[in-house]
Structure 1
Amino acid sequence: MARTLLLGVRLIGAELIGAELIGAGPAAGALEIEGERISWVGSADAARERLPGATVLELAGAVVTPAFVDAHVHATAAGLLADGLDLTGCDSARALLDAVAARVAARPGALVWGHGWQDQTWPDELPPRPALDRAAAGAPVYLSRIDVHSALASSALLDRAPGVTGAAGWSLTALSGDAHHRVRRAALTAVDTTTRDAAQAAFLADAASRGVAVVHECAGPDISSAADLAALRLRPGPEVVGYWGEAVRTADEARELVAHTGTRGLAGDLFVDGSLGSRTAALREPYADAPGCTGNRYLDPAAIGAHVAACTEVGVQAGFHVIGDAATDALLAGLDEAAAATSPGAVRAAGHRVEHLEMVDAAQARRLADLGVVASVQPLFDAYWGGLDGMYATRLGRERARGMNPFAGLHEAGVVLALGSDAPVTPLDPWAAVRAAVEHRTPGSAIAAAHALAAHTVGGHRAAGDRSPLAGRLLPGAPASYAIWDGAGPLDGAAGNPRCLRLVHRGVVLH
């Protein structure tokens, strides 16, 4: 079997046991790969004895880390932006309408797929549908807010969305809730397979170029489609771990749905609530900038408990999208119901997961750790919207905003963290995520760089149910899944991100 020796490299890895990090840190040395496995790790001097018969890569000064895992993505939606309408720079409703009109003029009648607008600092109001229709000139237009929990849509697209008029969340401006889910399905249906395939391929190639060898695709009936997920899982490139966000009530329903979708679990974006930006995250107390509004509640504790119990009985992962504090309350109540219906040990053994978990207190964090729930979190949410002057503070007020995304508290409670991007909500950029976790905008909520690296490597495997002590590590016997970099970025204290020189997953070169 062919052997490859990487010489003169700095190895940076971590081991996660429970939630404790041990044995992390840089060291000069060498790495040997044989087939799909790491066969040896040692010093550069000791490696000289292993040169005969090996392919040698002299990489003086390069850094080797485990390959990154992005624990929450939406590949097609993110990939569509490679040729879509990027609205992240729009600073007003007028600018958004001008961007739509320019795209329609360049491609008359074609679907306009746009993403990224944020209205909280605009000087003008969201455009009403007649204004969007004038800019659209009869074209179907779908423009998701940056959190993808509300969207602007033209009448030509609404005509393709049965039942959207009058559905929960219906509005003459931005659609949210069920109305948004219906129009999003219509927009995705309007994307032809050639465009979809190109979008997925572009997304996976970009992921590989950034050192990401595994992505967790959070699919579901309100997000994408089973056909979209099936196509994605067959593509070459980074490994796709699929999740399907649809609630079940019984073990038989769980078995049938897992078999139908071919997914790792019935988890991911199974919505308990929505998002803070769209004011659909479920809150105990009203939004600071919308008195009387406490967001949306899609699943109650009974439904959550039934879903977790069914998945626990079948032995597959359950999981939920949870952002607001009222949604966290519902999640914990549902988990307790499932633990009573099965057993705490059975729930713990199933390794369920929760996405985002932005508003959680210390007692809740300890209970999640007791039940073995892995938290898939997105540090760039804090970088984008945290702090005393960010969107969180606008929506919640400064006092509640201080408690957002408490990574240190979750880690200290024993919750295993897995980092991700939620692309296209924030970019797939693992080093930026590590930096954001380390430079949290709220004092006391940051985690150490070594813990952040572990959460973006080992934690990602744990989130997918892989509890092997070798998963995500640079140790003999571990899968040969690693990235070679021209530096260590945040781990070196550098302002920029290192460049990925080579990415290998299970012995196969992806980049």
Structure 2
Amino acid sequence: MPDILIHGGPIHTLNPQQPLAEALVIRDKKVAAVGSAADVREELHPGYEDISLAGRVLIPGLTDAHIHLLWSGLGRQNVDLDGVRSLDEALERIRQRAVQLPEGAWVRGHGWNHSLWGYRWPTAAELDRVTFGHPAILSRKDGHSVWLNSRALELAGIAADTADPDGGLIQRDERGQPTGILLENANDLAWRIVPPPSTQENQQALRDIIRVCNARGLTSLHIPEGPDTLATLQILKAAGELNARCLFHLPYRQLDDYIALGVRSGFGDDLLRIGGVKIFGDGSLGSCTCHMLAPFAGSTTNHGLPTIPEDELYAAVGKANTHGIAVTIHAIGDRANRTVLDAIEAQRRTPPGEGVVLPMLPNRIEHAQHLDPADVPRFAALDVIASMQPIHATSDMEIAEELLGGERVRWAYAWQPLQQAGAVLAFGSDAPVETPDPWAGIHAAVTRKRQDGLPPGGWHHELALSLQEALWAYVVGPAIASDEVKFKGCLAPGMLADAVVLGADPFTASPDDLWQMEVEQTIVGGRTVWERR
């Protein structure tokens, strides 16, 4: 490949030794030179490709540090209920899909949010009226609850005498009959009988969603999903069709198998790499299943629930961390976060025995949404990555005020206190729970406002970040989390040539307009993977 010269506009490198440059040279998939236009041209080999920014702006490629990639891709093929503000509208969308399906096919969908429907949970009976005998399963916006119709309940064998699984709940009416709502680990009772998509469908879903990500400047993705995703990513990689660098977090259920095989965090290369083992510590705020130290506002008994017994969590952390595997643990409630930090601290205090292999990658907490202030400094003290999704703050601010209230919301989505305490922040989207667009997240991180500009001063704006800090959490923080900071995280000689051309300079744009930032070109390893036409 010939050298590539990029020049003609500001280059924000995120390299503290050289934050701003005039020109950059790419050679053999890496940055070869950065600096003034004159100095950089002296490094060029003959026959180079010339890319003029023409006043546009170059920044390092962005990372989504928490995206459910296959789920997002497949979800684009199903009923989309995201943002639907009434149950009647949701039912009409479901009806329109059901009438298109062949007999016996499943109606699938995602994104419903009963907090937009007056906090009234939908029922199987309501779903029955619009699904015409098709089995139906639709996941809530946060993925922690599913809504089934009567046919799906029947196929799953869920009845009045079906016991709640550990860490899960079958919602029931006053007669003890299932209503059609399953929460947390009870979801598995339904998903295990839903026919999986084909390999070809998975491949197309991943191609499509990675292109969506590239179009918004994403060059790397951290993916907590199941085995089908890893298998499909490998197919795309072998075919030369994997257009984003992927860190894949292993599902917890197969932990013993990974250990037996000698699989460790960091296996792979700079395109596809193994991360940690993904463990669920609790549920979600919207489903009132995140595990809290004090009850939710308006309740004296509902603390949410853990989705894994505490002794099992401690054992899992110890087993993984002594066999070279980092842990990547979902924790939203303040009690769940404390329990995870306690488990990691207990493991760090345990003297390593003979043959112990410590993980290359740091441990992480996914979401870290609601924290007790006493636990904020523990992230840095225990080298735990705070993998957070800024857009959750602006999506959830009303429900957070209602369910948490008072002082607790001052420690919700607490990016600034975590950063000041020395924690490494790695930002993502949690798509399809939210949009995979990183600029929506950057806007939320900087303004603490929704895209409609509300609330005017930002929701608890004292917890917001500067643009520089937010970009760091989308570029450098994820590289630290994946143990790739030696070759990712800024535009400097020797670093991977992952970059994004923007239509405007985010450092001079109005913070309120960041969510509308135009991406003109996305480059992975010196290769253009997306370009505006």
Q: Same fold, TM exceeding 0.5?
A: yes
Give the AA of the match of 1:304: L
SS at match of 2:169: coil
Structure 1 residue 76 displacement after superposition = 1.6
Corresponding residue for 2:27?
34
Of the three residues 389, 394, 418, the one matched with 1:383 is 394
What is the one-letter code of the residue matched to 1:180?
A: N
Q: 2:314 aligns with which of 291, 305, 315?
A: 305
Counterpart of 1:96 (choices 68, 74, 90) is 90
Using the TM superposition, give the Cα deviation of residue 124 of structure 1 relative to its aligned residue in structure 2, in angstroms: 7.8
- 1:111 alignment counterpart: 106
| Cα separation, 2, equivalents of 1:240 and 1:102 | 36
Q: Which runs of no fewer than 5 residues in structure 2 stay unpaired?
A: 172-178, 449-458
In the TM superposition, what is the alpha-carbon distance from 1:248 to its structure 2 partner? 7.7
1:373 maps onto 2:384 in alignment: yes
Q: Is the 8 A contact 2:275 2:361 kept in 1?
A: no
- Counterpart Cα distance in 2 of 1:342 and 1:452: 37
Aligned mates of 2:258, 2:406 — CA distance in 1: 43
Is 1:475 aligned to residue 484 of structure 2? no
User: What is the CA RMSD across the aligned residues, in angstroms?
Assistant: 2.7
> Is the Cα–Cα contact under 8 Å of residues 476 and 485 in structure 2 kept in the other structure?
no
Of 311, 328, 343, the match for 1:334: 343
- Give a deviation string over 1:462-502, Cα, whole Å, max 9, x none: 1122242x422110111111111212346622615332222
Secondary structure of the residue aligned to 2:464 is: coil
Instruction: For 1:87 and 1:43, locate their aligned partners in 2 and report how far apart those are by CA, in whole Å.
Output: 50
Aligned residue identity for 1:331: V
- Residues 156 and 189, structure 2, Cα contact 8 Å, conserved in 1: yes
| 1:230 is aligned to 2:231 | yes
Q: Spell out, residue by residue over 1:79-100, the C-alpha distance to the aligned partner (whole angstroms, 9 max, x if none).
A: 1232221112322222222221
CA distance in 2, matches of 1:161, 1:85: 21
**Residue 364 (structure 1) aligns with:** 375
Aligned residues: 492
Residues 32, 41 of structure 1: 8 Å contact kept: yes
The structural deviation recorded for 1:120 is 1.7
Matches of residues 105-504 of structure 1 in structure 2 within 5 Å?
105-109=99-103, 110-123=105-118, 125-161=120-156, 165-167=162-164, 168-171=168-171, 172-187=179-194, 189-219=195-225, 225-235=226-236, 236=241, 237-246=243-252, 254-256=259-261, 258=263, 264-268=274-278, 270-342=279-351, 350-386=361-397, 390-440=398-448, 441-468=459-486, 470-489=487-506, 492-493=509-510, 495=513, 496-504=515-523
Q: 1:160 to 1:199 in 2, by over 3 A?
A: farther
Q: CA deviation at 1:176?
A: 0.3
Q: 1:87 aligns with which of 67, 81, 102?
A: 81
Deviation at 1:367, TM superposition (A): 1.8
Q: Which amino acid aligns with 2:228?
A: A
Partner of 1:53: 47
Q: Match for residue 19 of structure 1?
A: none
Q: Distance in 1 between matches of 2:30 and 2:59?
A: 15
Is this contact kept in 2: 1:313–1:342, CA < 8 A? no
Range with greater deviation from structure 2 (403-412 or 47-56): 47-56
Quote the Cα distance in structure 2 between the aligned partners of 1:500 and 1:288: 42
Indicate which of 52, 58, 61 corresponds to 1:64: 58
Q: Match for 1:483: what amino acid?
A: V
In structure 2, what is the Cα distance between the partners aligned to 1:197 and 1:507? 24
Normalization by structure 2: what TM-score?
0.85
* Distance of 2:86 and 2:391 partners within structure 1: 23
Residues 367 and 402 (structure 1), Cα distance of their counterparts in 2 relative to 1, 3 Å cut:
closer
Task: Give the secondary-structure state (helix, strand or coil) at the position aligned to 1:451.
Answer: helix
Residues 343-363 of structure 1 deviation map (CA, whole Å, 9 limit, x = unaligned): 6x9979651111000122343
Separation in structure 2 between the aligned mates of residue 45 and residue 467 of structure 1, nearest angstrom: 28
- SS of the aligned residue for 1:327 comes to helix
- Over 3 Å counting, the alpha-carbon distance change for 1:301 and 1:179 in structure 2 is closer
User: 1:174 is aligned with what amino acid?
Assistant: I
1-structure distance, mates of 2:508, 2:301: 45
Contact conserved, 1:379 with 1:419, CA < 8 A, in 2? Answer: yes
CA distance, structure 2, for counterparts of residue 451 and residue 259 of structure 1: 31
Q: TM-score, normalised by structure 1?
A: 0.89
Task: Summarize deviations over 1:319-355 as a string: whole Å, max 9, x none.
Answer: 2000001101211221122112246x99796511110
Q: In 2, are the aligned partners of 1:339 and 1:346 still within 8 Å (CA)?
A: no
Tell me if the contact between 1:245 and 1:271 (Cα under 8 Å) persists in the aligned partners. Answer: no
Mapped partners of 1:370, 1:124: distance in 2:
39
Measured against aligned partners, the alpha-carbon deviations of 1:408-448 in whole angstroms (never above 9, x if no partner) come to 01111111111100100111111111111111221321111
Range moving further from structure 2, 197-206 or 143-152: 197-206
Amino acid at match of 2:394: A
SS of alignment partner, residue 187 of structure 2: helix
Q: 1:184 to 1:340 in 2, by over 3 A?
A: same
Q: Percent identity?
A: 29
Q: Which one is further off, 55-64 or 410-419?
A: 55-64
- Please report how far the alpha carbon of residue 108 of structure 1 lies from its aligned counterpart in structure 2 after TM superposition: 4.4
CA distance, structure 2, for counterparts of residue 486 and residue 83 of structure 1: 30
- 1:338–1:347 contact (8 Å) kept in structure 2: no
Q: Tell me the CA shift for residue 273 of structure 1.
A: 0.2
In structure 2, relative to structure 1, the CA distance for the partners of 1:249 and 1:424 (3 Å cut) is closer
Question: Retained in 2: the 8 A contact 1:349–1:372?
Answer: no
Which one is further off, 305-314 or 56-65?
305-314
Amino acid at match of 2:438: P
Structure 1: tracts of 5 or more residues without a match: 16-21, 220-224
The Cα of 1:67 is off from its aligned counterpart by: 0.7
Paired with 2:359 and 2:508, the residues of 1 have a C-alpha distance of 33
CA distance in 1, matches of 2:78, 2:368: 29
Partners of 1:125 and 1:257 in 2: CA distance? 48
Partner of 1:76: 70
In structure 2, C-alpha distance between the alignment counterparts of 1:403 and 1:213, rounded to whole Å: 31
